[in-house]
Structure 1
């Protein structure tokens, strides 16, 4: 049965903390709609809250996943293999697998991720390169995310943070002409000797550069702080669902998968995200949610995860 753990509750607390900030970020847009269309403030914010409710619907989550990744239904051969492994996972977890859906992502990187309330995506690279044993460990990990409600709560957190990203984009747009001015004037850090026009121009260029950088920093600061907190919660979630896989008897399988990823780290593969400072599917070239563009690790290092799993498996075997 799905129930939130401490990590999911922490993400929910972040939703409540950043909700007023997001509302303030939306205020200019709501005021613009009021001026242009005569719409009252409550209507703009009401539509925003309705969009949050829609974000939790299955069709919307599937549409978002299709927008962000090249997902598809498994082929007959892929379905037969995935269903065989999935039956083993849900049997050991003692849950019903009917509510969950598995989709395939056409990417050569071996990886997997969970979306919303019930969607699990596995890349073709994972299907081609991982054995059944390793895939069972990966699917157990993703099932843990859903049963602990990590992904469903995180989806609402990402939704709350969208206005903060919009403000960061606005700051970038405002800083663009200032940066263009700095480039036009020249960006030499130290002007030539003397007190002529060149020194004055270089001083103006440095001032324009600092102004543009300051605008970007000020507008991006709320989003950076929010995503840093979100990613910290995400790292905690990884440890918890690794422990879940161990508790249902699939710890050795997950450990085997992590060891495979560690051995193939030089190829750019990483289990379930950026465990070695690489964003999830960071080399696919596909558009993805802006949440993963923040240059902060969302997953703990592989060696730490493997050490914890090995210790827990040893404890369970004792």
Structure 2
């Protein structure tokens, strides 16, 4: 959990100035409003309603063909991990990676690539990997990291869209050829530039903190792989990872590229090889 401290510092770097500004407008309760909104967003992001999961994360029910392919591997995976079928809700996310992001609650997510492409024994290993995220405390660091990233994601979303009104008013001003349109564009550009300048330092601290805390989510994946190997499916999981790597079904996200890390699937395969070699 100590790996989450940089993410916490980054999130507070964003939230504290907002709380201070809010307290100047509303002296009594203003400082707490941003943190209440943050907590509400965290609850919403983790809320186990299928409608939210479908809209925010793109999860869906398995198709008839996917159910046919996954039925027997899922039965064996549940038996191997001693998890009852009633405890989980199996859903699919359309992705080309062998493993889906770890989830909290009762939802277990498998990628469409794993269901459609992996042999039965390798699919079972992937399912056991996903199920072990729900055993013990493996999902706690992932859950905490997700909640701490909410202010960072909100700031990133804002900075990515802050110039859109400026571009739109500029296009209108050019098409209408009116001085008022150019004046509005100029004022909006000043506001956007000021917002970027004010948020530059907090944004840098937040993004660096999020990058440094990435180790917490990676560690959860490594722990799940270790659990799979302990249940006797290490070779099958390694084969699934190697097949995905050879087929090019791996990717590196923005933080991974920033830290110059190999894709997570490659690092998982390397650790599994070392473990299975002993």
TM-score, with normalisation over the residues of structure 1? 0.63
Shift of 1:223: 2.1
Shift of 1:301: 5.0
User: Is 1:311 the equivalent of 2:270?
Assistant: no
**2:241 and 2:265 in contact (8 A); partners too:** yes
Distance in structure 2 (CA, Å) of the matches to 1:84 and 1:121 = 16
Deviations 1:260-312 (A, max 9, x none): 112212xxx12xxx3xx3x3xxxxxxxxxxxx677446875545433432332
Distance in structure 2 (CA, Å) of the matches to 1:78 and 1:174 = 42
Cα pair distance change 1:106/1:236, threshold 3 Å: closer
Question: Which of 115, 121, 133 matches 2:109?
Answer: 121
Question: Which of 26, 39, 45 matches 1:49?
Answer: 39
Q: What secondary structure sits across from 1:221 in the alignment?
A: helix
Deviations 1:86-111 (A, max 9, x none): 2211222233343222112244x244
Distance in structure 1 (CA, Å) of the matches to 2:77 and 2:54 = 25
Q: Bigger relative contact order, structure 1 or 2, given CA contacts below 8 A and separation 6+?
A: 2
Distance in structure 1 (CA, Å) of the matches to 2:153 and 2:23 = 18
* Residue of structure 1 equivalent to 2:89: 101
Distance in structure 2 (CA, Å) of the matches to 1:255 and 1:247 = 13
CA RMSD of aligned residues (A): 3.9
**1:26 and 1:163 in contact (8 A); partners too:** no
TM-score, with normalisation over the residues of structure 2? 0.70
| Residue correspondences, number | 251
* Structure 2 gap segments, 5+ residues each: 166-193
Higher helix share: 2
Deviations 1:160-188 (A, max 9, x none): 332234445556678999xxxxxxxxxxx
User: Is 1:142 the equivalent of 2:130?
Assistant: yes
User: Is 1:223 the equivalent of 2:206?
Assistant: yes
**2:139 and 2:220 in contact (8 A); partners too:** no
* Structure 1 gap segments, 5+ residues each: 1-8, 178-210, 280-291
